[in-house]
Structure 1
Amino acid sequence: MMIGRRSVVALGIGSVATAISHRAFAGGDDLLDTAYINAKVWTGAGPNVRTDAIGVKGDRIAAIGADAVRARTGKRTRIVDLQGAFVTPGFIDPHVHFVKASIMMSQASLRDAANPKEFVERVAAAAKALPKGQWLEGGNWDQDRWGGEMPHRKWIDAVTPDTPVAVIRYDLHMLLLNSLALKLVGIDRNSVAPPGGVIERDADGEPTGIVKDASKDMVLRAIGQKTDAQIDAAARNGIALALSKGVTQVHPTEKELVSFDCTRRLHARGEIGIRFRHYLPLQDWEAQTALIAREGRGDDWVHWGGCKVAFDGSLGSRTAKFYEPYHDDPTTRGIIVTDPVDLRRWIAGADKAGLQVTTHAIGDEANDIVLDTLAAVAAANGPRDRRFRVEHVQHMKPHAIPRFKAQNVIASVQPYHAIDDGRWAVRRIGEKRLETSFAFGSLVRSGAHVCMGSDWPVAPMDPFTGLDAAVNRETLDDKHPDGWHPEQRVTLAQALRCYTHEGAYAAFHDGKTGVIAPGHFADFAVMDQDLFAIDSHLLKRTTVLRTVVGGVQRFG
């Protein structure tokens, strides 16, 4: 039968659309629901694999290429002319603190406070806007913006007499509390930090207000959670932000179940929008095993079956675990957050139960201990497709780099951390150790699986800033125009693969997402410039025009 003219949803009607609109076709069961035509598509199937059209049926890609798409276009097919726009697989962010970051979107921001005076002024303004007695949270402060002096409770006590303050450093490893907050949570000069935690004290033995790692978590538990309604509202904003950046899948890697519970609620109400692969607390692996026995592992929108644990702290907080002392504090080599005996026991149990395990490791000694533990567990439990992951992998001895490929351990890294920490990292650990820090290029060239993400809210949930960081490595202070340790740069195609296919592989989602190919979910991002055709310094200026997840346009 002849097919008449049909509507074209687009910015205009191109010649391909006109040809399709007058085409005759028989066999309605094979017709596409939507045909995206006149596009510049990087499929992710290889560094230079391109096509020009995507055909969608249901929630899957059914055809790629103008001829294949045209052959399955019928009168009910919705045609979208992309007018030459650039398309990639949907970006996957393998490391986010999703609900925490979503809530922080509406909290006080101290990230760009340039000096202590501005820091105090912002805290004062935020406290003034809150009801008396309500906790002031948020923060994301960065003391290295004003030379490295740590904030002190005395800075803010006078401007927050009735407001308990617990504002977090941007690495999420330490809090600043005012005196009222210290009193409310019961921290004084006699308090003992829990294992894996630090309570900083002044020369008189009094708490300065700075608490780190396990001590920080103790404070957050005392503050308590938001209501479900507040959490869900914040998460909707986080989902909207992700979609506006072309992000179609995220992996929350959190100590709490807040994101897990929230996304299950949103999914039940049909409000999910992007895909979630959850990594639940490793110490609770038996509870997750019982959950899987009762309910399975979720579905392709909200999925679980992975565990995460933090082994050490962060470089900025001087709690990442190194072999040698910190240059700017020789009294410490960092801390171990999780006892190595517990680490081995928990990973062994979770792995034997068929769960995937990922471990936070930043310092060089921490990475070695974690890799040793993963090797021992794999040997004891026997061969299987386990896909162990290590989160951050920031600082390594040279011998550790080839171990990721050799042990088939995934390196889950965050390129933005390199250009951020690169402003001041030399003060912490000196130049020598930085030669194999943030070693993205070495890891990729070794053949290891490397996925790239943000660690939102530690860094922006914006793949374009991450791509820029991976490709250019220019630090945020503009002091390394040729790249900070430029030998660790990667190509754009390598970085894009790390943000797409490798993110899918890291979640056992390869074959479903991460590549634009028939049979995969129709998850892709449309943007205003061809990333391969522009100067790499313009990557950050990319605008997402539309984001499609599961065959549905959810942004743009």
Structure 2
Amino acid sequence: MKHCKITLLASLMIAGAASAEPVLLHNVKGYGFNSDRELVSFTALAFDDTSGKVLARGDKTLQTQFVDARRVDGGGKTVLPGLIDGHGHLLGLGEELSQADLRGQPSEEAAVKVVADFARSQPQAAWIIGRGWNQVLWDSKQFPTTALLDEAIGDRPVWLTRIDGHAGWANSKALALAGITKDTLDPPGGKIIRDADGNPTGVLMNNARRYIARVLPATSTEDNISALQAAFQQLLSLGITSVHDAGISSELATLYQQLAADGKLPIRIYAMLSSRNADLADWLAGGIWQEPADWLSIRSVKIYGDGALGSRGAALLSDYSDQPGHTGLLVTQPDALTQIMQLTINAGFQANVHAIGDRANRLVLDRFEQLATAEQRLAGRHRIEHAQIVAPDDIPRFKTLNVLPSMQAVHATSDKNMAGDRLGVARLRGAYAWRSFIDQGSIIVGGSDFPVELANPFHGLHASVTRQDQQNQPQGGWLPEQRLTLVEALRSFTVDAAYGAFQEDNMGTLAPGSWADFILIDQDIFSIDPSQLWQVQTEQTWVHGQLRFQQAAD
């Protein structure tokens, strides 16, 4: 979708003139949810484009109820509630759109060629920045080194983030600027990959990436606004009307507040403060920040447990099957994890903890059990972000402790080729276990983790229902017993994601009284073969009763 021909109709809330009378969207195949989270259908939707609220939904009889309404013919298109990405990184997405894109490159050599071509196109850039490499796709399966990067680009520093965001690849120029040598110690929760003689090879994992972060050029507010606008434009084109932004800096939180005050947020943002912010205690002391029309909500904290599976940073209870003696990394040490979670819970904020490996998930569940009362857990709707590898005995604890699994379906289809190598067969019983969570009554907050994965929510719906990649592999699906139904998958990207942000009464259902956030798509997802779900295109995106995006005619 990065190169899709699109038209952004309004980049500001205030753009476009709202009509004085209601609007009646008719001649549609509409789907929404009722108060019991059951799927309902409709052929007409009435809404107020001034207040931004849904007035009614039903059939053609609404035309007699709203005789003075401005009518919009939906042309028989399918209408869904605006899709909610329950775990993404807005600024990271916007920045990636202007960086070297290494996603899907089949070898280290191919990735270096992309970076070299990008560098030649950016002669003024002080640093060459990129993202998306994945050694799992390479024949070698080995981490890259500085060697090929140095040959291609030796005069400027290069920093390339792995696709999962938990490792980075630098050339020698970047290592030198960061002061990384043979004598540099691994920081707590981080690792410098070294050769047999102890010399850095160029790959830095988890907290070791901070050595590079300290010397990267600072970005300006204008740079950040430009990146955010690019992200907003892409997300609207994909049918996403709300994002849970997972782990933002204090500076970005302040910028969001200003954009909301100025009416310049075209999508809704549920922002998680990063636990790494030096002034986190001050933010918590200030209390929940809620914009009345749900354009911005700041009432949660993103806390970091472990690394990622692909870079062997996920914290496991037992050794990695393909690296004996290694159990991953805890990005936040247990005592510090306890302190940050307690601070967050006591402040009345939602604690959303990144945990991928089974050890990290257990550590977090233990702390929710120890640090919060049953009442606090129920009211807090605390979450574990990813919950990818969970010991089977720990899965019921999510329901018992009222902890929400915030999961990204596309991670399963991306990881299926390496998860077995990392974990072995036995641990796959608790891997990407969506069905197990749903069957016990847990509510799954769906998302993509963009830009780790592509932001397209229909990729997530497809992965949820088929457990297959876009080439329909493997046949029958990977761990197919964990598939979701399409209704369950759609819930995870609408009303259930809204529940994970305390917003189920206002969005994700298209029920009367909720925000008029909806999309028109080119196919009826309940009529097509599930294998085609990832190909669905968004033709129109409406937010707050205003048309924000329309796909341009060919």
Residue in 1 that maps onto 2:4: none
Supply the distance in 2 between the matched residues of 1:81 and 1:264 (Cα, whole angstroms): 36
Contact 2:472 2:531 in 1 (8 A): no
Residue in 2 that maps onto 1:10: none
Contact 1:312 1:336 in 2 (8 A): yes
Contact 1:41 1:86 in 2 (8 A): yes
Q: Secondary structure at the match of 1:39?
A: strand
Q: Does 1:106 align with 2:98?
A: yes
Which one of 20, 26, 29 corresponds to residue 37 of structure 1? 26
Residue in 2 that maps onto 1:27: none
Supply the distance in 2 between the matched residues of 1:462 and 1:70 (Cα, whole angstroms): 34
Instruction: Between the two structures, name the one with larger relative contact order (CA 8 Å, sep ≥ 6).
Output: 2
Q: Secondary structure at the match of 1:270?
A: coil
Contact 1:422 1:475 in 2 (8 A): no
Q: Are residues 382 and 271 of structure 1, via their aligned partners in 2, closer, same or farther at CA, if it must alter by over 3 Å?
A: closer
Q: Secondary structure at the match of 2:114?
A: helix
Task: Give the root-mean-square deviation of aligned CA atoms.
Answer: 1.9
| Alpha-carbon shift at residue 349 of structure 1 (Å) | 1.9
Supply the distance in 1 between the matched residues of 2:470 and 2:55 (Cα, whole angstroms): 42
Residue in 2 that maps onto 1:52: 43
Contact 2:374 2:401 in 1 (8 A): no
What amino acid maps onto 2:187 in structure 1? Answer: P
Supply the distance in 2 between the matched residues of 1:221 and 1:81 (Cα, whole angstroms): 54
Residue in 2 that maps onto 1:510: 504
Q: Are residues 133 and 106 of structure 1, via their aligned partners in 2, closer, same or farther at CA, if it must alter by over 3 Å?
A: closer
Supply the distance in 1 between the matched residues of 2:520 and 2:374 (Cα, whole angstroms): 46
Residue in 1 that maps onto 2:536: 542
Residue in 1 that maps onto 2:76: 84
Which one of 169, 173, 197 corresponds to residue 166 of structure 2? 173
What amino acid maps onto 2:333 in structure 1? Answer: D
- Counting only pairs closer than 5 Å after superposition, residues 70-149 of structure 1 correspond to structure 2 as 70-75=63-68, 77-131=69-123, 134-147=126-139, 148-149=141-142
Which one of 419, 422, 430 corresponds to residue 425 of structure 1? 419
Q: Secondary structure at the match of 2:283?
A: helix
Q: Are residues 92 and 133 of structure 1, via their aligned partners in 2, closer, same or farther at CA, if it must alter by over 3 Å?
A: closer
Q: Does 1:456 align with 2:450?
A: yes
After TM superposition, the runs of 4+ consecutive aligned structure 1 residues lying more than 6 A away are none
What amino acid maps onto 2:492 in structure 1? Answer: C
Q: Does 1:376 align with 2:370?
A: yes
Deviates more, 1:482-491 or 1:343-352: 343-352
Q: Secondary structure at the match of 2:417?
A: coil
Q: Secondary structure at the match of 1:217?
A: helix
- Counting only pairs closer than 5 Å after superposition, residues 128-527 of structure 1 correspond to structure 2 as 128-131=120-123, 134-147=126-139, 148-254=141-247, 256-282=249-275, 284-292=279-287, 296-299=289-292, 300-379=294-373, 385-475=379-469, 479-527=473-521
Q: Secondary structure at the match of 1:253?
A: strand
Supply the distance in 2 between the matched residues of 1:255 and 1:73 (Cα, whole angstroms): 43
Deviates more, 1:480-489 or 1:268-277: 268-277
Which one of 541, 546, 554 corresponds to residue 548 of structure 2? 554
| Alpha-carbon shift at residue 508 of structure 1 (Å) | 0.7
Supply the distance in 2 between the matched residues of 1:69 and 1:219 (Cα, whole angstroms): 59
Supply the distance in 1 between the matched residues of 2:498 and 2:465 (Cα, whole angstroms): 21
What amino acid maps onto 1:44 in structure 2? Answer: F
Supply the distance in 1 between the matched residues of 2:64 and 2:348 (Cα, whole angstroms): 43
Supply the distance in 2 between the matched residues of 1:123 and 1:282 (Cα, whole angstroms): 32
Supply the distance in 2 between the matched residues of 1:478 and 1:51 (Cα, whole angstroms): 32
| 1:509-553 deviation digits (Å, cap 9, x = unpaired) | 110111111100101111111100110011111111111111111
What amino acid maps onto 2:41 in structure 1? Answer: R
Give the percent of matched residue pairs that are identical in Structure 1 and Structure 2.
35
Q: Are residues 132 and 201 of structure 1, via their aligned partners in 2, closer, same or farther at CA, if it must alter by over 3 Å?
A: farther
| Alpha-carbon shift at residue 477 of structure 1 (Å) | 6.9
Contact 2:470 2:534 in 1 (8 A): no
Supply the distance in 2 between the matched residues of 1:289 and 1:94 (Cα, whole angstroms): 22
| Alpha-carbon shift at residue 382 of structure 1 (Å) | 5.1
What amino acid maps onto 1:487 in structure 2? Answer: E
Supply the distance in 2 between the matched residues of 1:132 and 1:229 (Cα, whole angstroms): 18
| Alpha-carbon shift at residue 35 of structure 1 (Å) | 0.5
Q: Are residues 94 and 258 of structure 1, via their aligned partners in 2, closer, same or farther at CA, if it must alter by over 3 Å?
A: farther
Supply the distance in 1 between the matched residues of 2:175 and 2:125 (Cα, whole angstroms): 14
What amino acid maps onto 2:26 in structure 1? Answer: I
Q: Secondary structure at the match of 1:43?
A: strand
Task: Please tell me whether Structure 1 or Structure 2 has the larger radius of gyration of its CA atoms.
Answer: 1
Supply the distance in 1 between the matched residues of 2:383 and 2:505 (Cα, whole angstroms): 19
| Alpha-carbon shift at residue 380 of structure 1 (Å) | 8.5
Q: Are residues 522 and 203 of structure 1, via their aligned partners in 2, closer, same or farther at CA, if it must alter by over 3 Å?
A: same
What amino acid maps onto 2:143 in structure 1? Answer: M
Contact 2:43 2:60 in 1 (8 A): no
Q: Are residues 383 and 176 of structure 1, via their aligned partners in 2, closer, same or farther at CA, if it must alter by over 3 Å?
A: closer
Deviates more, 1:129-138 or 1:188-197: 129-138
What amino acid maps onto 2:428 in structure 1? Answer: L
| Alpha-carbon shift at residue 132 of structure 1 (Å) | 5.8
Q: Are residues 381 and 187 of structure 1, via their aligned partners in 2, closer, same or farther at CA, if it must alter by over 3 Å?
A: farther
Unaligned regions of 5+ residues in structure 2, if any? 1-18
Q: Are residues 529 and 227 of structure 1, via their aligned partners in 2, closer, same or farther at CA, if it must alter by over 3 Å?
A: same
Supply the distance in 2 between the matched residues of 1:228 and 1:180 (Cα, whole angstroms): 27
Number of aligned positions between the proteins? 524
Q: Are residues 504 and 382 of structure 1, via their aligned partners in 2, closer, same or farther at CA, if it must alter by over 3 Å?
A: closer
| Alpha-carbon shift at residue 448 of structure 1 (Å) | 0.4
| Alpha-carbon shift at residue 224 of structure 1 (Å) | 3.9
What amino acid maps onto 2:84 in structure 1? Answer: I
Unaligned regions of 5+ residues in structure 1, if any? 1-29
Q: Are residues 100 and 261 of structure 1, via their aligned partners in 2, closer, same or farther at CA, if it must alter by over 3 Å?
A: farther
Contact 1:415 1:453 in 2 (8 A): yes
- Normalising by the residue count of structure 1, what TM-score does the alignment of the two structures yield? 0.91
Supply the distance in 1 between the matched residues of 2:395 and 2:157 (Cα, whole angstroms): 44
Q: Are residues 380 and 453 of structure 1, via their aligned partners in 2, closer, same or farther at CA, if it must alter by over 3 Å?
A: closer
